[in-house]
Amino acid sequence: MDILKIIVPTVLTFSFGIFITPFFTRYFYKYKMWKKSPRIEADTSEAFNKIHNTEEEVSTPRVGGVIIWIAVLLTVAVIYFLSKLFPVYQMEQLNFFSRSQTVVPLGAFFFAAAVGFVDDLFHIFGTGSYAKDALVYRKVKIIFVTLIGLAIGFWFYYKLDFVGVHIPFNGMWQMGLWFIPFFVIVMLATFSTSVIDGLDGLAGGVLASCFTAFAVIAYLGSQFDISALSGAIAGGILAFLWFNVPPARFYMGETGMLSLCVVLAVIAFLTDSVLLLPVIAFPLVATTASDIIQITSYKFFNKRRVFLVAPLHLHFRALGWPREKVVMRYWIVSVISAITGVILYLVS
């Protein structure tokens, strides 16, 4: 039953995602849910403008992440209500909606999805600087993520008695009240990986590997509800990918990236493997680091650029790599990183 508890939600979420996508796709295109202003209208480099496909940006819906979290919501609701309608042992065992393990990550997941969805709507239907992703509004999103992190961090500290993190091969690191700001920092760092959303299937493939790794880690730690949730999210991402292989029908958007990044950080803490997150999500770390390096170099070293274009996957595009090659190689590295993270969890 423990294995079925993970397999059933994963398959069910994937199936729901496949089933609902045609309906949402028609809705996305009917209401033209894409950006109206391409990024090349902002102050972008010549290399970026050369590889950027303006036509795709202003004709491809950017709210595809709703497919993932709605599929997860349907799976949670269906299994929960079936377990109440048919309170037999098998159905009760399949239910993974539990106060002790999944209420917090599910709450964070859906709240972040709602915040991201509102942000996407501003980009789609808004006018002026916000529609062009001005820096001031990026700061607004950072404030929202910080508030989410503070709320969840306080809950972990005061309600769940989290006061430290596990250091691989070294034991527990007791942090006391400093656990809360550390939690916020990790959530902000994970949120910054939203810059990886930009090539067809890139973000989805990387995140599917991350959540699969945490499904395995949670299972090995006997946290079966968290494992089932991680598997369900991975199933939703795979359904998204089914329709997002080149050419993409839609982009994940903030409603997808924000919700997935936030819940990824929460699950990493709940499984006491947050320090393995940089290993498991290495492509995300590399992408964020490339952005930080580029911005630092440009501002403090006479506008020098370390990369042709940042983040890193666009640098490879500027070098002449086809989109498919960049995406496939990122997927390969993601799988290797996920396997490495699981092995480190086992041996530490």
Mean pLDDT of 16-41: 83
At residue 288, the pLDDT reads: 83
At residue 95, the pLDDT reads: 93
Peptide bond into 181 cis (omega under 30): no
Q: CA 277, CA 267: separation in Å to the nearest integer? A: 10
Alpha carbon 304 to chain centroid, angstroms: 31
Domain edges within the chain: 2-275
Q: How far apart are the first and last CA of the chain?
A: 27
Better-scored residue on pLDDT, 102 or 133: 102
Residue 157 banded pLDDT, cuts 50, 70, 90: very high
Tokens of 249: 């029908």
pLDDT at 45 over 70: no
Tokens of 37: 């202003």
Q: Per residue in 83-132, pLDDT tens?
A: 999 988 888 889 999 988 999 999 999 999 998 898 888 888 876 555 55
At residue 128, the pLDDT reads: 59
At residue 43, the pLDDT reads: 47
* DSSP helix/strand/coil, 22: helix
CB count in 10 Å sphere of residue 43: 7
At residue 20, the pLDDT reads: 96
Residue 132 φ then ψ, to 5°: -100, 15
pLDDT at 44 over 60: no
Average per-residue pLDDT in the chain? 87
β-bridge partners, 174: 164
Tokens of 31: 């209401």
Q: Per residue in 301-326, pLDDT tens?
A: 888 888 888 788 888 888 888 888 99
pLDDT at 137 over 70: no
| φ/ψ bin of 32: left (φ > 0), alpha (ψ from -120 to 50), beta (otherwise) | left
Of 212, 268, 271, which is closest to residue 236 (Cα–Cα)?
212
**Percent of the chain at pLDDT exceeding 70:** 88
Tokens of 225: 């509800």
Q: CA 68, CA 195: separation in Å to the nearest integer? A: 18
Q: What value, to the nearest 5°, has the Cα angle with vertex 89 and ends 88 and 91?
A: 70
- pTM higher than 0.85: yes
At residue 135, the pLDDT reads: 58
Give 189-234 as a DSSP string.
HHHGGGGGBTBTTHHHHHHHHHHHHHHHHHHHTT-HHHHHHHHHHH
- Choose the weakest-confidence range: 14-18, 42-46, 104-108, 123-127: 42-46
Mean pLDDT of 59-83: 93
Q: Per residue in 247-303, pLDDT tens?
A: 788 888 889 999 999 999 999 999 999 999 999 999 988 888 888 888 889 888 888
